Amino acid sequence: MLYPQQNDKRNCLDLSGIWDFQIDPGEVGEAEGWFNGLAAARPMAVPASWNDLYDDLRDYLGMAWYVTESYIPAGWQGEQVMLRVGSANYAAKVWINGTLAGGHEGGHLPFEFDISGLVRWDAPNTIAVQVENHLMPNRVPAGNVEGGMALFMRMFPAATFDFYPYSGLHRAVQLYSRPQSHIANVTVTTDIDGADGIVTVAVEAEGAASGSVRLGDQAAALSFQNGTAQARIRVTNARLWGPDDPYLYPLTVTLGDATSPTDRYSLDVGIRTIAVEGGTILLNGQSIFLKGFGKHEDFSVSGRGDNRPVTVKDYALLKWIGANSYRTAHYPYSEEQMRMADREGILIIDEIPNVSLQFGGGDEAVAERLRMCKQQMSELIARDKNHPSVVMWSIANEPMPPDLMRRMMGGGDVPPVDPATTAFFQELYDLCRAADPTRLVTLVGVGGGPVEWLASSDVVCINRYYGWYSQSGQLDAGRAALENELDSLYDQLGKPIIITEFGADTLAGNHSHPPAMWSEEYQVEMLWGYLDAAAARPFLAGLHIWNFADFKTAQGIMRAASMNHKGVFTRDRQPKMAAHFLAERWNQPGSDRPGE
């Protein structure tokens, strides 16, 4: 799905602003025609989570309605008029002037409808979106899961994941127009041949016979058959995209001939390759070490709503601290963030919200979860496939085998995991490789989780909390256990390893000598131990600290003040002591790969 854009053939109208809003706990709105207008509306910001804007909404996750009105410019008559929602968490339905346009499930990916047949030209159009975010065991991510870790964590609301289940229209709602004969899809892949870059552009179009592609100062013709065409452009002495030089070539696809084009679409192309060789990740054929964080889209007041000042600030802080990458834990981030990553040279591990998956509830329930995982994975690849920053797809974060507690305790032989669970993930690995053979695929494994689930990964990604959840308060013992496990994992799998999470809850301003848990000193010491352990192991291909910034969680005994405090920055983006230490270390070239 193409990101809407304004040019001489296409128009966009961003509906961000203050909408009418009303909760519908009895779920009567559809029968009562709330899509025509709300009887007891209060103002609501779009984009934003609704939870932190009114006292009574903090833990409200049920159904709610958003309504606004907009004229559609007269100049769009005769064009295809689309309505696009950037993110509605979790399920949504859209009405235009009282008629249902469509619905969508899954909280963090865009969806759009052709509403040409539903619009009025002589009066404002009523646009209504119904959103609900019930926590349910078969959703992805799941909530209200009985037993297991949920029993132990006792979170309120009952999320089965460690971040607040923010609800609402989290990204912009836009109207846009495109010509009847239009570019429907563009897929760009890049390769390197000696000093040259090879850029392949596959285009899907409706109602077009011919067109062209321009990349920088080169052009190639497109000739459509059954709606598809392809061009291949060789860029001599290509300037390759990477963290040190995130160079982007401007690409424009045009339909029709150059003198009277019918449609146009532009995007930026980074020429780069990503691959794995033994224990090393290769970006453009050169070894690269991923330094960075697991993040969240989270900020006070706006919740999970797209917050552009915070986006810009976060990228500035990533640069300041010397990071070159992050993982979109634990769901797809906004398209604006992916565009920033392209521009700033930040490598992305792009994850679907398949977090803390469990296999309970019977075969039908598991099949339903797999269906949702596949849908979200396909939609994510379709959305992000053209971003050079995205180097790896993550199909899951910390899925949980039924015997996880026993595995975590260790000791004794662990029986092999149920092969049906391995097959579940194999379907997702296969889906990614079929949809996008140009990127790496991973599954982010929990401590004690089955090695079988990691075996199909291109890069072994593991979350480890030695020195925090285990060996609590004992950094030396934690480090020894970490080193043992790293060596044994590499022996077994022979693939590059990224520790995608490690960290310690740290209350800013809390100091202790010698270092004790929750103090700034303990966080620094712990992170240092992991950085040193990795530096001594050439097969360690990256370190992502958990987390970039403190973030809100549900309430529970494990989370002081409903926050996860493992940030290296506070929630309002002020540095803890660890941030200064990291900035010094990560900004030294080669500091984490001695000898390179």
Q: How far apart are CA 407 and CA 413, in angstroms?
A: 9
Nearest to 381 by CA among 437, 301, 306: 437
The yes-or-no answer on residue 483 being catalytic is no
Compute the least distance from the CB of residue 60 to ligand GCB, in Å.
Answer: 23
CB atoms within 10 A of CB 387: 20
Tell which one of 52, 79, 384, 398 touches ligand GCB (CB under 6 A).
398
Q: How far apart are CA 61 and CA 59, in angstroms?
A: 6
- Count of positions on this chain that bind ligand GCB (CB under 6 A): 9
Q: Can you state the angle between helices 419-435 and 363-384, rounded to 10 degrees?
A: 20
Query: Per-residue x/- mask for ligand GCB, residues 441 to 480, rule CB under 6 A?
Result: ----------------------x-----------------
Q: Give the chain's radius of gyration (CA, Å).
A: 24
Specify whether the CB–CB gap between 385 and 393 falls below 8 A.
Answer: no
* Identity of the residue, 178 or 559, whose beta carbon is nearer to ligand GCB in the bound complex: 559
Q: How far apart are CA 356 and CA 484, in angstroms?
A: 25
Compute the least distance from the CB of residue 517 to ligand GCB, in Å.
Answer: 13
Specify whether the CB–CB gap between 502 and 552 falls below 8 A.
Answer: no
- Residue at shortest CB range from ligand GCB: 162
* Identity of the residue, 65 or 163, whose beta carbon is nearer to ligand GCB in the bound complex: 163
Q: Can you state the angle between helices 520-535 and 577-586, rounded to 10 degrees?
A: 20
Nearest to 50 by CA among 61, 40, 39: 61
Subset of 153-182 contacting ligand GCB (CB under 6 A): 162
What three-state secondary structure class fits 101? strand
* Identity of the residue, 186 or 578, whose beta carbon is nearer to ligand GCB in the bound complex: 578
Compute the least distance from the CB of residue 230 to ligand GCB, in Å.
Answer: 40
Compute the least distance from the CB of residue 257 to ligand GCB, in Å.
Answer: 53
- Which one of the listed residues 132, 501, 520, 525 is annotated catalytic? 501
Compute the least distance from the CB of residue 66 to ligand GCB, in Å.
Answer: 29
Burial degree of 380 (CB within 10 A; 0-12, 13-18, 19+): buried
Specify whether the CB–CB gap between 392 and 274 falls below 8 A.
Answer: yes
The answer for 281, left when phi > 0, alpha when psi is -120 to 50, beta otherwise, is beta
Q: Is 379 among the residues that bind ligand GCB (CB under 6 A)?
A: no
Do the strands 249-255 and 263-269 form a parallel or antiparallel pair, or are they unpaired? antiparallel
Q: Please say whether the dihedral angle defined by the alpha carbons of residues 173, 396, 286 and 312, taken in this order, is positive or negative.
A: positive
Cis omega (within 30 of 0) for bond into 47: yes
Q: Is 546 among the residues that bind ligand GCB (CB under 6 A)?
A: yes
Subset of 6-65 contacting ligand GCB (CB under 6 A): none
Tell which one of 24, 306, 501, 520 touches ligand GCB (CB under 6 A).
501
- Which one of the listed residues 398, 483, 520, 525 is annotated catalytic? 398
Tell me phi and psi for residue 118, to 5 degrees.
-110, -5
Specify whether the CB–CB gap between 275 and 235 falls below 8 A.
Answer: no
Compute the least distance from the CB of residue 566 to ligand GCB, in Å.
Answer: 5
Compute the least distance from the CB of residue 397 to ligand GCB, in Å.
Answer: 5
Q: How far apart are CA 582 and CA 590, in angstroms?
A: 14
Subset of 105-164 contacting ligand GCB (CB under 6 A): 162
Measured CA to CA in angstroms, residue 506 lies from 19, 254, 418, 570 at distances of: 38, 53, 38, 9
Subset of 330-369 contacting ligand GCB (CB under 6 A): 330
* Identity of the residue, 280 or 376, whose beta carbon is nearer to ligand GCB in the bound complex: 376
Q: How far apart are CA 354 and CA 372, in angstroms?
A: 9
The yes-or-no answer on residue 398 being catalytic is yes
Helix ranges restricted to H, 65-217: 148-153
Specify whether the CB–CB gap between 564 and 505 falls below 8 A.
Answer: yes
Compute the least distance from the CB of residue 412 to ligand GCB, in Å.
Answer: 24
Tell which one of 397, 421, 470, 523 touches ligand GCB (CB under 6 A).
397
Query: Per-residue x/- mask for ligand GCB, residues 206 to 245, rule CB under 6 A?
Result: ----------------------------------------
* Identity of the residue, 465 or 586, whose beta carbon is nearer to ligand GCB in the bound complex: 465
Task: Please name the amino acid found at residue 485.
Answer: E
Compute the least distance from the CB of residue 356 to ligand GCB, in Å.
Answer: 8
Task: Please name the amino acid found at residue 361.
Answer: G
* Identity of the residue, 49 or 130, whose beta carbon is nearer to ligand GCB in the bound complex: 49
Compute the least distance from the CB of residue 462 to ligand GCB, in Å.
Answer: 10
Q: Is 566 among the residues that bind ligand GCB (CB under 6 A)?
A: yes
Q: Which residues of 129-140 are buried (b: 16+ CB within 10 A; e: fewer)?
A: bbbbbebebbbb
Nearest to 124 by CA among 175, 185, 61, 188: 175
Q: Is 297 among the residues that bind ligand GCB (CB under 6 A)?
A: no
* Identity of the residue, 90 or 163, whose beta carbon is nearer to ligand GCB in the bound complex: 163
Nearest to 278 by CA among 540, 591, 485: 540
Q: Is 550 among the residues that bind ligand GCB (CB under 6 A)?
A: no
Compute the least distance from the CB of residue 398 to ligand GCB, in Å.
Answer: 5
Give me 83's structure tokens. Answer: 């309505």
Containing 418, the helix (H) or strand (E) segment is: none
* Identity of the residue, 271 or 526, whose beta carbon is nearer to ligand GCB in the bound complex: 526
* Identity of the residue, 94 or 329, whose beta carbon is nearer to ligand GCB in the bound complex: 329
Q: Is 564 among the residues that bind ligand GCB (CB under 6 A)?
A: yes
* Identity of the residue, 357 or 582, whose beta carbon is nearer to ligand GCB in the bound complex: 357
* Identity of the residue, 530 or 546, whose beta carbon is nearer to ligand GCB in the bound complex: 546
Q: What amino acid positions are annotated as catalytic residues? A: 398, 501
Sites of contact with ligand GCB (CB under 6 A)? 162, 330, 397-398, 463, 501, 546, 564, 566
